[in-house]
Amino acid sequence: MFAEAKCIGEKNVNGEDCFILKLSTDPETLKARSEGPAEIIRHVLSGYFSQKTGLLVHIEDSHLTRIQSNGGDTVFWETTYNSSLDDYRQVEGVMIAHSGHSVVTLFRFGEVAMSHTRTKMEELDD
């Protein structure tokens, strides 16, 4: 699914020095995943890995989709997932995150959407 992985730098995430690994989907895969009036333009995933432990502590996953209506108007939807992972514990010899937090942002723009619309969804603890 992801054709290319590249280390693009470093960033401190929640007090943890991390290196950033960026993965991009190749155009052929994007075309194969597109369906009907919906065309996936871009899919990029960035993983933030602790320099101290090597564990994944944050993920950013972004999709950009173009939707062509029957009337010819075009709308773009950008969906971005941001997830933090923590409380790693060993399970049968493998370190597994047992806690996390996610925020999803939907951004709509284009001819049909005369004004841009941004929606943010965040999970809440009970």
Residue 4 and residue 64: Cα distance in Å, rounded?
A: 18
What does the pLDDT look like over 19-67, one tens digit per residue? Answer: 999 999 988 888 888 888 899 999 999 999 999 999 999 999 999 999 9
Mean pLDDT, the chain, rounded, equals 88
14: Cβ contacts below 8 Å, ≥ 6 apart? 57, 58, 84, 86
Q: Where are the domains of the chain?
A: 35-122
**pLDDT surpassing 70 at residue 12:** yes
